[in-house]
Structure 1
């Protein structure tokens, strides 16, 4: 949300200039199954993490878009220091704590970094837009919270990863470099960014953008469309007019104010829930689908900075093409949900193998247990009526690789690419486990050396898979939350090893970020 971007101070980013070359013909640069195979793990993980706070926080640089629909009957919230509801474009939160944080006026004596209005450049009117951001109010004692109920399906373009994170690490690449074709935008240009995105997607039949930071949010282009205000309330500083002094610390800040948000967001690590967002999985358009793109450069975070202008325009053109196909360009949404629930397919693969792989890699210490675990994972796919062992293994790997995709019937180009990626990942899992099993099947006297070798093979597989489930905290206390990087807060330690933290620990994190404000460049402890 625009105001959360101000929680960490101002900073600028200079990204590579786009090529001025003319667009290539449609058939010259297209998605390919070779690219889907090469980038299979990234595609698989993008689907697994889509619309989930946990995976999208850890894999924060998204490279993909999806057509999504918010159905009727969903509550969304808007926090502001303005006394009236906005007309749009503006932000809506799924979690009320997310909006409340922005509805709270700035506490007395609190440093201005957390609650000040946008930098001057953020107040500028964007080109081609007739709208302007709201004028700042000078009243620090009031804030306002408005709640809206959706009355009809609201079609949106969802950008995966932590796409609302105002960083120069790549979280904004799909917005600034791909959609806006504006790589030199300031990371803090939230209002120009919102207006530009609305100018882009509304002709396609969409009503806004869905993004994520510490909570999921909607950039709603027109608040008069498909929703009604159901409540509005004023809010005051806790110490004003009888506010509880216990809510205010010695520096004038609100105790536990960020903990409340993190706790609410943590309840949605696995998704928004209650059918709040319907994803059309067959509408996925991803830079991972395209041949010849160097998205990782030297092997770091995925970025679009090295992609040429004509390639970017081709990908952007495919996004538009897919959106128009799914919505009919009329913004109706909700009627074109893809035939294959790819996240459901991916979830079945992860749920079957994640705990088994970790146990075999870390918890098994003898050959007999390893043999039992490997057979338990693979016997389902082995046809023991086949006498030749090599033929039997090959047939079993084929059966294992397609076990969860047998019912998948691709309806779109993207469906086919996703199928290729999912089966590529499944084949790697199956063939690796059979490789480990052969250490024991061919040697009844297998010993600790065989166990160590099997664990090495499985650990290498886990390193390729990079499933975020393996980073989840053990059960936290009732007064704690599992702490992973949530824009605008985070550190390297919690990215590598998420951990349980209580309110006082998270408050200290907020104070630390407040007192050390500056650009988020990946070297200050945020993310990795």
Structure 2
């Protein structure tokens, strides 16, 4: 009956347009998250903003799946977050091209020289450097939002540029930036931030807030000859500025490498030795991008959490329906209704037109502290539950070690009445454990977007604390249990820990193991710079050389 009441409560909340949290449902402490809860996805999105690794691994910007030592993901899906961002005064930006000149309007810039140098594919190489003369107002699309793929990485941008998410990938990027800048002009936006293997800024007007520092003619890059015509990757650009939503979901063929290959460039007078080799140097943006893999991520811009707009808002009922039964890696915005689309557009207009800021709570720090508190300990718990980790111990001894892990994580929330003689001993542990300090902030200080984040924090904490407490009840007297009971308990705990870590899906658990040598980097397949032999669906971390990749051609789009 309680569960039925909870479900009815959820339905009423969705219809009324409010964000659903576990606490809103008034369900028993040991009830699992509702099937349609997005607390874990929104929590992950907040914790991953401006970090390259999670937004490469989970290209939809929030969804995630723990997969142990080998990861297989459908490559890739769509970002779910649009958030205001600011780039401070005094930030350097770079624009690379084979033609001398300073861009005026509607162009892309990089935050690192190596990224701009990438666009000098052969021939002269002119890199213009700029410095911001004031804070730039930007909008940031999370996930791998610069990946031009057919699985939805551009969905959030499509919502702004064409009013609906589109299946086709071969959209006109010039038309896209024109539409985005036209929308942003209403709110005084200077540009938009996206990410693939590195972060980029789509600049709407180079005469506003930017000053040219230098225009330099850099060394040209040599390009190895192709071994055979079979290596040529054909590319046919599509000029249709507004593709149909029914376009077949497949990637555009990559740009022809041969189309960029002409006579080898002449070195400058007095130069000795080889010129920078194109395929090798084109790998360097991955290296510089990896510097922003983990927290604090890209520090040359700052997001405003009080304006975070998410398509994981459970008030968007049409997307709840479209996500049911669909693996999180396949979540798209294609199922959004006209009413829900209008709702998001209205929220974006309110957020970017807002003259005041929210509470000032650093929600990124709030989520990061939770990950820091539990990520390593949950991984230790999973390891302790493995037979290989407790060699020469019987089941009762191993269970006692696991009990210690539970106690370590829950003792901050236990009092002297946290024993079975107290009828509420379990629910009080969960309540203390899953109530973050941010719950004490007056609701009047929070924006609607912050209240969603607050709910996702509490919902995520609730599931962590619920699982730990369920296991603690079984472990409370395990030290005196029989061998048979300990065997059963250990197996149950393995299931609980796996399900919890799968549900959380934190990217901190996915890394190269063993760690890479100093001359290598931990790598995930990253469009448009796939390594030769990469399986684009296989997101297993691997060590690759960060010194040279000659003979490993870059696939360009």
Q: Give the TM-score, by structure 1 length.
A: 0.77
* 2:9 matched residue in structure 1: none
* 1:83 matched residue in structure 2: 100
> Residues 445 and 312 from structure 1, CA distance in 2 versus in 1: closer, same or farther, beyond 3 angstroms?
same
* 1:56 matched residue in structure 2: 55
Which segment is superposed worse, 200-209 or 448-457?
A: 448-457
Q: Does 1:482 align with 2:522?
A: yes
* 1:135 matched residue in structure 2: none
Segments of structure 2 that go 5 or more residues without pairing to the other structure are: 1-13, 25-33, 61-78, 222-264, 391-397
Give 2:462's match in structure 1, choosing from 416, 424, 427.
Answer: 427
Q: Distance in 2 between matches of 1:338 and 1:169?
A: 36
* 1:164 matched residue in structure 2: 146
Other structure's SS at 2:139 match: strand
The aligned length equals 441
* 1:457 matched residue in structure 2: 496
Q: Distance in 1 between matches of 2:211 and 2:539?
A: 42
* Contact 2:95-2:128 at 8 Å conserved across structures: yes
Q: 1:229 Cα shift?
A: 1.2
* Contact 1:78-1:99 at 8 Å conserved across structures: yes
Other structure's SS at 1:256 match: helix
Q: Distance in 2 between matches of 1:221 and 1:85?
A: 14
* 2:282 matched residue in structure 1: 258
Q: Does 1:241 align with 2:267?
A: yes
Q: Does 1:308 align with 2:337?
A: yes
Q: Distance in 2 between matches of 1:313 and 1:244?
A: 61
Residue correspondence of structure 1 range 11-410 to structure 2 within 5 A: 30-33=17-20, 38-61=37-60, 62-102=79-119, 104-106=120-122, 141-181=123-163, 183-184=165-166, 186-238=169-221, 239-242=265-268, 246-247=274-275, 254-270=278-294, 275-289=299-313, 290-292=315-317, 293=319, 294-296=321-323, 298-300=325-327, 301-325=330-354, 328=355, 336=357, 339-364=360-385, 365=390, 366-385=398-417, 388-406=421-439, 408-410=441-443
Q: Distance in 1 between matches of 2:423 and 2:57?
A: 40
Q: Distance in 2 between matches of 1:471 and 1:261?
A: 21
Q: 1:147 Cα shift?
A: 1.1
> Residues 485 and 389 from structure 1, CA distance in 2 versus in 1: closer, same or farther, beyond 3 angstroms?
farther
* Contact 2:106-2:178 at 8 Å conserved across structures: yes
Other structure's SS at 2:323 match: coil
Which segment is superposed worse, 160-169 or 358-367?
A: 358-367
Superposition RMSD on alpha carbons, in Å?
2.6
> Residues 177 and 393 from structure 1, CA distance in 2 versus in 1: closer, same or farther, beyond 3 angstroms?
same
Q: 1:171 Cα shift?
A: 0.3
Q: Give the TM-score, by structure 2 length.
A: 0.74
Other structure's SS at 1:65 match: strand
Q: 1:320 Cα shift?
A: 1.3
* Contact 1:483-1:494 at 8 Å conserved across structures: no
Q: Distance in 1 between matches of 2:83 and 2:114?
A: 26
Q: 1:404 Cα shift?
A: 4.8
Segments of structure 1 that go 5 or more residues without pairing to the other structure are: 1-26, 107-140, 329-334, 518-528
Q: Distance in 2 between matches of 1:496 and 1:362?
A: 23
> Residues 244 and 272 from structure 1, CA distance in 2 versus in 1: closer, same or farther, beyond 3 angstroms?
farther
1:399-429 deviations in whole A, cap 9, x for unaligned?
1101453555551011111111110010000
> Residues 48 and 279 from structure 1, CA distance in 2 versus in 1: closer, same or farther, beyond 3 angstroms?
same
Q: 1:338 Cα shift?
A: 5.0
* Contact 2:51-2:297 at 8 Å conserved across structures: no
> Residues 421 and 259 from structure 1, CA distance in 2 versus in 1: closer, same or farther, beyond 3 angstroms?
same
Other structure's SS at 2:142 match: strand
Q: 1:450 Cα shift?
A: 1.8
Q: Distance in 1 between matches of 2:98 and 2:140?
A: 27
Q: Distance in 1 between matches of 2:546 and 2:287?
A: 9
* Contact 1:179-1:316 at 8 Å conserved across structures: no
* Contact 2:516-2:522 at 8 Å conserved across structures: yes
> Residues 186 and 353 from structure 1, CA distance in 2 versus in 1: closer, same or farther, beyond 3 angstroms?
closer
Q: Distance in 1 between matches of 2:85 and 2:440?
A: 23
Other structure's SS at 2:417 match: coil
Q: Distance in 1 between matches of 2:299 and 2:440?
A: 23
Other structure's SS at 1:426 match: helix
> Residues 497 and 408 from structure 1, CA distance in 2 versus in 1: closer, same or farther, beyond 3 angstroms?
farther
Q: Distance in 2 between matches of 1:206 and 1:170?
A: 24
* 2:69 matched residue in structure 1: none
* Contact 2:55-2:144 at 8 Å conserved across structures: yes
* 1:469 matched residue in structure 2: 508
Q: 1:311 Cα shift?
A: 1.7
Q: 1:274 Cα shift?
A: 7.7
Q: Which runs of 4+ in 1 moved over 6 A?
A: none
Residue correspondence of structure 1 range 437-448 to structure 2 within 5 A: 437-446=472-481, 447-448=486-487
1:438-481 deviations in whole A, cap 9, x for unaligned?
22104333424322221221111011111111112243111111
* Contact 1:77-1:93 at 8 Å conserved across structures: yes
